[in-house]
Amino acid sequence: MFTGQSILVTGGTGSFGRAFIDYVLEHHRPERLIVFSRDELKQFEMRGSLADRDPGCLRYFIGDVRDRDRLITAMEKVDVVVHAAALKQVPVAEYNPFEAIKTNVLGAQNVIDAALTTGVKKVVALSTDKAAAPINLYGATKLCSDKLFVAANNFRGRHDITFSVVRYGNVFGSRGSVIPYFLKQARQGTLDITDERMTRFSIFLVDGVRLVMYALEHMWGGEIFVPRLPSYRISDVATAIGPNCNRRLIGIRPGEKLHEEMITEMDGYTSLQMANHFVLTPSTDLWDREQYKQTFQATPCPEGFSYNSARNDRWLTIPEIREAIVTRIDPAFSPA
How large is the C-alpha radius of gyration of the chain? 20
Question: Is 88 a catalytic site residue?
Answer: no
CB atoms within 10 A of CB 102: 17
The one catalytic residue among 88, 122, 130, 142: 130
- Amino acid present at 178: V
- Amino acid present at 52: D
3-state secondary structure the chain: CCCCCEEEEECCCCHHHHHHHHHHHHHCCCCEEEEEECCHHHHHHHHHHCCCCCCCCEEEEECCCCCHHHHHHHCCCCCEEEECCCCCCHHHHHHCHHHHHHHHHHHHHHHHHHHHHHCCCEEEEEEEHHHCCCCCHHHHHHHHHHHHHHHHHHHCCCCCCEEEEEEECEECCCCCCHHHHHHHHHCCCEEEECCCCCEEEEECHHHHHHHHHHHHHHCCCCCEEEECCCEEEHHHHHHHHCCCCEEEECCCCCCCCCCCEEECHHHHCCEEECCCEEEECCCCCCCCHHHHHHHHCCEECCCCCCEEHHHCCCECCHHHHHHHHHHHCCCCCCCC
Encode 229-249: b = buried (16+ Cβ within 10 Å), e = exposed: bbbbbbbbbbbbbbeebeeee
Question: In what side-by-side order are the strands of the sheet with 199-203?
Answer: 170-171, 199-203, 231-233
Strand partners, 278: 226, 273
Which active-site residues does the annotation give?
A: 130
